[in-house]
Amino acid sequence: MPSKAIHLLHYLCSMQNISASIRATLSSMGITHLTPMQEEAQRVCLTPGDVILLSPTGSGKTLGFLLPLIQIMDPAASGVQALILAPSRELSLQIEQVVRKTATGFKVTCCYGGHAIKTELNSLIEPPSLLIGTPGRIADHIRRNSFDTRSVRTLVLDEFDKSLELGFQDDMEFIIGSLQHLHKRILTSATQSDVVPEFTGIRNPTTLNFLEKESSILLTTMQVDAEGKDKFEALFRLICKLGNAPTLVFCNHREAVDRICDLLNERGISSDAFHGGMEQDERERSLIKFRNNSHNLLVTTDLASRGLDIPEIQNIIHYQLPHTEAAFIHRNGRTARMHANGNAFLILSEEEYLPSFVDPNIEKYELSGEMVVPELPEWITLYISAGKKDKVNKIDIVGLLLQKGGLAKEELGKIDVLDKVSYAAVKREKAKITVNLLKNQPLKKKNVKIEISN
């Protein structure tokens, strides 16, 4: 589990009321404390009845519903006992990773579009206790009869409002209609809705609302005025003033993300793009580089505003203004969390006005003074053409890079091992030397390609 998530879970309450088995599970993950929301979620989710859990982005909702889910499931039962629906592939995979970290012994399978369905079908031959996936792919599996829906007792609709926003209502309605033996429904969201749709089947739920308990006093919101219609020059100058602090630049459209990212890179500012039009492996690579500090700047659509495990962000830049207050809240929710200060900047052209949901008296941020392009990040990412399917793990990669690649321990950063490939952050000044030293060096007796990742 990423260090930021662990830091989040160390916050506040003790674990004195948690069962010994769950306490052992959390200890194995390096977690000693839960937040009040997570403790309350565990208490309520372990009692009969449906639950609605409302809590801000980044507050640890995943562990909040997973802990009771693990206790509800029966190790002796067969078939899929619990189903978790998430609006994106990234969030589905993130939930799967947290489940695997718990090391409870329950089989878990994650299903999502963008890759071959054959692997999932093979995994479902022996059904997992816990099935996680996006609504579209799970609906596909139900239509194929890939698993028996009669055994599913618990349903979690994670980031439910985002799934509706992305147009998954028909798939979710079909899925829920296919689950005839549900005992419990858990709905999570980072925004409060006036009405929960009938198709969810949720009746008389217990609602845990932690939205208003999240203080925004640590967030400073500022207005940046651009000259003329094109705001790129203002964005460039703003980034030069902010330096290398972790920053998200939000746009409303994929085309704008690609254009801005290209222009920034042409100006010597290291950045990457992230949006729904990219291939899955491209999106995964962008997040990996952002997490391991090979890029300090991610240009994105609202896809990155919800549910993703990304590091603590210092600055949020609204290059294109959000259309709704909810979008504004979710974007800003990526910063000023867990006692950390953060900034949100709204760039306005001469023809634009602040949205009605933004305080008209916010501070103006001046872009005067000398502009200095931030230095390139001290880390860079190496691509390695082997992963879990090749029986490669982090220890193997560490050994190769330190023993054969000529790196010292402090010159090796975060390592990510995926199914078929791996990525390792190394100090930028050592990357080319290391790649040259590793030419023709086998990994687990297999020839692999190692190069600087684009």
Whole-number pLDDT of residue 217:
54
Q: What is the pTM of this model?
A: 0.69
pLDDT tens string 323-342: 888 888 888 877 766 556 78
Whole-number pLDDT of residue 16:
44
Domains recognised in the chain with CATH numbers: 3-209 (3.40.50.300), 219-279+292-364 (3.40.50.300), 379-452 (3.30.70.330)
Whole-number pLDDT of residue 229:
76
Bridge partners of 52, per DSSP, are: 187, 207
Whole-number pLDDT of residue 20:
66
pLDDT tens string 343-401: 999 999 988 999 988 888 899 999 988 889 999 999 999 999 999 989 999 999 999 99
Ramachandran bin of 212, using left for φ above 0, alpha for ψ from -120 to 50, beta for the remaining angles: alpha
CB-based contact 90:162 (threshold 8 Å): no
DSSP state of 369: S
Query: Residue 332: which H helix or E strand, with range?
Result: helix 325-332
Q: How many helices, marked H, and strands, marked E, lie in the chain? A: 15, 20
SS3 content of the chain, % helix, strand, coil (to 5): 35, 20, 45
pLDDT band at 406 (very low <50, low <70, confident <90, very high): very high
pLDDT tens string 19-69: 666 677 677 666 777 888 888 998 999 999 999 999 877 678 888 999 999
DSSP state of 206: E
CA distances from 145 to 87, 127, 149, 235, 239 (A): 22, 12, 8, 51, 51
